[in-house]
């Protein structure tokens, strides 16, 4: 039987780190997963080959054995017997240090010969179990929708999933719904569902996490003389007192009038308001005269 180059199967160098091996395996396993390639025998065989390579190279002990034998794997049994004998002498007991296997089944002849030749537990063999493919979905909402906790039905792969969407969820946030992906292989667990939220903002408020920001127009006379104005918050209106001599771009904070804090019921961010003083235009002759008089008073 032919030697299998597991490094070539995963497309990695022999000096690849454990992290690089896992990354390469995940990338290729997703591409050749049976759920994405139904009735494709070649993809199924490739998927099994990838899993076999990963089981060897991601296990430090098995990788060491594989690297040591290389193409001379047929002599592995002699090496294993010698190693086990030395191990018994050092440990002073009769335990075998044979292959710390994977529970077996559906492997290549090369794998079976190399890793099962000196035998371990020898119990009932079973096919390897694989987790099902993960699903990804995008849910579009309006900013007003996520101001309160609510329920919504999402259809994924023909199935309706009832979700409770917590107030304060953010644009681009991803949540995981366990067990709502594809069916696993050989009795393996189902995959998971990952939902990405896309939140559109059609309001006059700018959001930064739980805080809100808005700009409020302030007429010149109120800015100069002071007074009271009504401003909009996200869920209503409030009255604010304006101090005489308020300058353009003055900022005030309304505590607790911002956006809900995600999964912290009853907690809200703050609303920050910037005053934009409006300069009157198209003045009448009388207004111009009065402003002229005022300017003279300020300069004397």
Residues 228 and 288 in one domain: yes
Q: What is the mean pLDDT of the chain?
A: 82
Kindly report which listed range (55-69, 72-86, 182-196, 229-243) carries the lowest average pLDDT score.
Answer: 72-86
For residue 235, is it within any domain?
yes
- Tell me: pLDDT of 72 over 70: no
Domain end marker among 81, 116, 151: 116
User: What is the per-residue pLDDT across 226-242, written as a single tens digit (0 to 9) for each?
Assistant: 999 999 999 999 999 99
Residues 222 and 283 in one domain: yes
pLDDT of 123: 40
Residue 121's pLDDT band, with cuts at 50, 70 and 90, is: very low
- State how many domains the chain has: 3
Q: Which domain holds residue 145?
A: 135-200
For residue 129, is it within any domain?
no
- Tell me: pLDDT of 253 over 80: yes
Residue with tokens 């390639």: 37
Query: pTM for the complete prediction?
Result: 0.57
Largest CA distance in the chain: 112
Residues 192 and 211 in one domain: no
Asked if residues 28 and 10 have their Cβ atoms less than 8 Å apart, the reply is yes
- For residue 195, give the nearest of 210, 209, 181 by alpha carbon: 181
Domain end marker among 83, 116, 149: 116
Residue by residue, DSSP assigns 108-146 as -HHHHHHHHSS-S------PPPBPPPPEEEEEEEETTGG
- Which carries the bigger pLDDT value, residue 43 or residue 81? 43
And the tokens for 225?
């003389």
pLDDT of 80: 52
For residue 126, is it within any domain?
no
pLDDT of 159: 87
For residue 122, is it within any domain?
no
What percentage of residues in the chain have a pLDDT greater than 90? 44
Asked if residues 210 and 269 have their Cβ atoms less than 8 Å apart, the reply is yes
pLDDT of 116: 56
Residues 41 and 106 in one domain: yes
For residue 291, is it within any domain?
yes
- Tell me: pLDDT of 53 over 50: yes
Asked if residues 275 and 218 have their Cβ atoms less than 8 Å apart, the reply is yes
For residue 139, is it within any domain?
yes
Residues 63 and 105 in one domain: yes
């Amino acid at each position: 039987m032919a030697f299998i180059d597991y490094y070539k199967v995963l497309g990695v160098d022999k000096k690849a780190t454990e992290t690089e091996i896992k990354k390469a395996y995940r990338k290729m396993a997703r591409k050749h997963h049976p759920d994405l390639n139904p009735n494709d025998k070649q993809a199924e065989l490739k998927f099994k080959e990838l899993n076999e390579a990963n089981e060897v190279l991601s296990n430090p002990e098995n990788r060491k054995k594989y690297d040591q034998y290389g193409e001379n794997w047929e002599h592995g049994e002699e090496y294993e017997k010698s190693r086990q004998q030395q191990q018994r002498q050092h440990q002073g007991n009769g335990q075998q240090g044979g292959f710390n296997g994977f529970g077996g089944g559906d492997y290549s002849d090369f794998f079976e010969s190399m890793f099962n030749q000196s035998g371990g537990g020898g119990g009932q063999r079973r096919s390897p179990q694989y987790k099902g493919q993960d699903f990804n979905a995008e849910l579009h909402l309006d900013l007003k929708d996520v101001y309160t906790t609510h329920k919504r039905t999402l259809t994924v792969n023909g199935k309706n999933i009832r979700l409770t969407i917590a107030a304060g969820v953010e644009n681009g946030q991803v949540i995981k719904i366990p067990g709502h992906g594809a069916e696993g292989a050989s009795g393996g667990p189902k995959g998971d569902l990952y939902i990405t939220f896309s939140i559109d903002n059609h309001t006059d408020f700018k959001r930064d996490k739980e805080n809100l920001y808005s700009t409020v127009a302030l007429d010149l006379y109120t800015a100069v003389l002071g007074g009271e104005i009504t401003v909009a918050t996200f869920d209503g209106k409030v009255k604010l007192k304006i101090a005489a001599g308020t300058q353009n771009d003055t900022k005030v904070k309304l505590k607790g009038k911002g956006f809900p804090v995600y999964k912290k019921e009853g907690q809200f961010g703050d609303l920050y308001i910037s005053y934009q003083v409006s300069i009157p235009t198209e003045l009448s002759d009388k207004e111009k005269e009065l402003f002229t008089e005022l300017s003279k008073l300020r300069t004397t």
